[in-house]
Amino acid sequence: MRIAEILRRKGSDVATIAPDTTVRSLLGTLAEHNIGAVVVSPDGDGIVGIISERDVVRSLHARGAELLDAPVAEIMTTNVRTCAPDDPVDGLRKTMTEHRIRHLPVVHQGRLVGIVSIGDVVKTAISELATERQHLVEYLQGKY
């Protein structure tokens, strides 16, 4: 299965924020959309960073409440790993596990076209296993 199939099922909407957005505003965006990470983009197409709940918690611990009024550019991850719609999900699973990444932006021809979470990957794996199981059961019952 390819990343494009995940996006086809879940949609390609991506929450983005500008680099100068405050951490306080970021928290509102995360809560409003019920998501764990936001792509940082000056224009909604390019990517300059990504910021997750984990980034906020670690920075809040280190800096205290003053962090809430700081721009997300100060704490975002700037070395953003991405994937392409044609990439296989198996490769994404490996990347997420090895690098302990929970969210990967999907980029096509230099433009942000979606985001895939570890939850999307797990859901896909469960769906594939259920389908495989059903085929095996049908085979054993002589339905083929």
Report pLDDT digits (tens) over 73-130.
Answer: 999 999 999 999 999 998 888 889 899 999 999 999 999 999 999 988 888 877 777 7
Whether the predicted pLDDT of 140 surpasses 90: no
What's the rounded Cα separation, in Å, for the pair 116 and 96?
10
| pLDDT value at residue 21 | 97
Report pLDDT digits (tens) over 16-60.
Answer: 999 999 999 999 999 999 999 999 999 989 999 999 999 999 999
User: Is the model's pTM score more than 0.85?
Assistant: no
Residue-wise burial string across 38-62, b where 16 or more C-beta atoms lie within 10 A, e elsewhere: bbbbeeeeebbbbbbeebbeebbee
- Could you tell me where the beta strands, DSSP code E, fall in 14-65? 16-17, 37-40, 49-52
